[in-house]
């Protein structure tokens, strides 16, 4: 009788064989369970690390946005303070100039006084606009009140057009019937003080307007520079008229009217284009595109659109990414792009980035944009 090749034949050897086989199977199952546990632990660890990275990134984004909102509020508050001070100082200055113009009979001094009062009205509109723009978005105005600032600049420009027309008409009538100036020294002192005061106010306004990119305050700053220049032009006109050239006073008033009209035209043009969503800043567009393309996961850019909302820039664009990306990965790329661009571009209030799968230009030539 031959031996059994498939297993032990004796009772003891079969018991040992069964025991060793069972123990091996138990050890194998235990090792598999340990491997599965380690894989699950590793997956949970990776998920926790990814969540921690996302939380840190979101925290950095929130911190950057909080800082931007703080700077924005501080800028509006400072602009509001300067505009409010400008209202009262211009009213007082304009009242003094008009009173002295009635006493001296100087048309240039009258024109400068009317200009100062109109500038006070302009500063009042700017002040009111800066107060309204700080309001939170409401159910009716869901994107905020940023365009109030541009609308205020538009109203300001319209007022300046009317003021310049009135001053030009009065100066033209005075040119036809020139009269000597009484108390020319007092008129010269008032005009010199008005010019220096307006120049100082313009410098302060321009500093804040350029720092926080506030359009209405920029218009008011240009208006103050115009007011200062008008005072100096009126000063020169009165000074020349004291030498017997009586037509110089009326000519000075006409020059002031023309200067006011040029400032009004610039303000009218800029504010109207902003309200119509016109945007033509190629350097800024190229800078944003350069920052977007620098991201490793971006394969191309589609349809970058920018517009101004008051002192800020808002925009949206689509970026091409690999179609194999998950929804979470694509969202992460969009969040990173929005945060990095907003922190590097001053004045960019909102940028909405939409990731789309990369398009084959041969299959969809109308949807593809060259990278």
- Angle at the Cα of 19 from the Cα atoms of 14 and 25, rounded to 5 degrees: 125
Q: How far apart are CA 304 and CA 143, in angstroms?
A: 20
Q: What is the pLDDT of residue 43?
A: 53
Per-residue pLDDT for the chain (371 aa), expressed as one digit of tens each? 444 454 555 545 554 545 455 555 555 565 556 655 555 555 554 555 555 545 544 444 444 444 444 455 666 677 778 778 888 888 888 899 889 888 888 888 888 888 888 778 777 877 777 777 777 888 888 887 878 878 877 888 888 898 889 889 988 988 888 888 888 888 899 889 888 888 888 888 888 777 776 766 777 787 788 788 888 888 998 899 888 888 888 898 898 888 888 878 888 888 888 888 888 888 888 888 888 988 888 888 888 889 887 667 888 898 898 888 888 888 898 888 888 888 888 778 788 899 988 866 555 555 444 44
- Domains along the chain with CATH numbers: 75-275 (1.20.1510.10), 282-357 (3.30.70.1350)
| Phi-psi map region of 247: left, alpha, beta (phi>0 left; psi -120 to 50 alpha) | alpha
Q: What is the pLDDT of residue 112?
A: 86
291: how many CB neighbours lie within 10 A of its CB?
16
Q: What is the pLDDT of residue 47?
A: 56
Q: What is the pLDDT of residue 127?
A: 79
Per-residue b/e over 53-80, b at no fewer than 16 CB within 10 Å? eeeeeeeebeeeeeebeeebeebbebbb
- The pTM score is 0.62
Q: How far apart are CA 227 and CA 122, in angstroms?
A: 12
User: Please, are residues 167 and 256 in contact by the beta-carbon 8 Å criterion?
Assistant: yes
Residue written as tokens 């567009």? 285
Q: What is the pLDDT of residue 102?
A: 86
226: how many CB neighbours lie within 10 A of its CB?
21
Task: Calculate the alpha carbon distances from 222 to 72, 234, 246 in Å.
Answer: 22, 18, 30
What contacts 327, CB < 8 A, 6 or more positions away? Answer: none
Structure-block tokens of residue 366:
């109308």
């Amino acid at each position: 009788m031959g031996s059994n090749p498939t297993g032990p034949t004796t009772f003891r050897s079969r018991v040992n064989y069964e025991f060793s086989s069972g123990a091996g199977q138990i050890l194998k199952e235990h090792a598999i369970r340990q491997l599965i546990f380690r894989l699950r632990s590793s997956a949970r660890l990776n998920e926790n690390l990814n969540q921690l990275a996302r939380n840190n990134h979101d925290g950095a984004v929130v911190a950057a946005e909080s800082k931007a909102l703080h700077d924005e509020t501080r800028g509006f508050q400072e602009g509001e303070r300067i505009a409010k001070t400008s209202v009262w100082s211009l009213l007082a200055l304009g009242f003094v100039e008009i009173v002295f113009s009635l006493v001296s009979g100087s048309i240039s001094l009258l024109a400068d006084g009317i200009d100062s009062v109109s500038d006070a009205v302009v500063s009042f509109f700017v002040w009111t606009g800066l107060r309204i723009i700080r309001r939170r978005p409401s159910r009716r105005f869901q994107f905020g009140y940023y365009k109030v600032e541009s609308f205020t600049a538009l109203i300001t420009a319209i007022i300046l057009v009317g003021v310049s027309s009135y001053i030009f008409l009065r100066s033209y009538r005075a040119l036809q019937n020139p009269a000597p100036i009484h108390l020319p020294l007092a008129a010269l002192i008032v005009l010199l003080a008005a010019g220096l005061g307006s120049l100082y106010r313009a410098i302060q306004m321009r500093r804040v307007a350029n720092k926080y990119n506030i359009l209405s305050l920029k218009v008011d700053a240009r208006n103050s520079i115009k007011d200062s220049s008008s005072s100096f032009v009126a000063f020169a006109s009165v000074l020349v008229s004291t030498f017997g050239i009586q037509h110089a006073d009326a000519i000075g008033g006409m020059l002031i009217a023309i200067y006011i009209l040029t400032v009004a035209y610039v303000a009218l043009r800029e504010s109207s284009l902003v309200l119509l969503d016109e945007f033509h800043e190629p350097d800024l567009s190229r800078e944003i595109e350069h920052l977007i393309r620098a991201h490793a996961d971006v394969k191309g850019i589609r349809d970058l659109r920018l517009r101004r909302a008051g002192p800020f820039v808002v925009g949206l664009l689509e970026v091409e990414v690999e179609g194999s990306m998950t929804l979470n990965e694509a969202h992460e790329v969009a969040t990173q792009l929005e945060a990095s661009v907003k922190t590097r571009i001053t004045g960019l209030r909102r940028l909405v980035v939409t990731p789309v799968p990369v398009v084959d230009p041969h299959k969809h030539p109308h949807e593809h944009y060259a990278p």
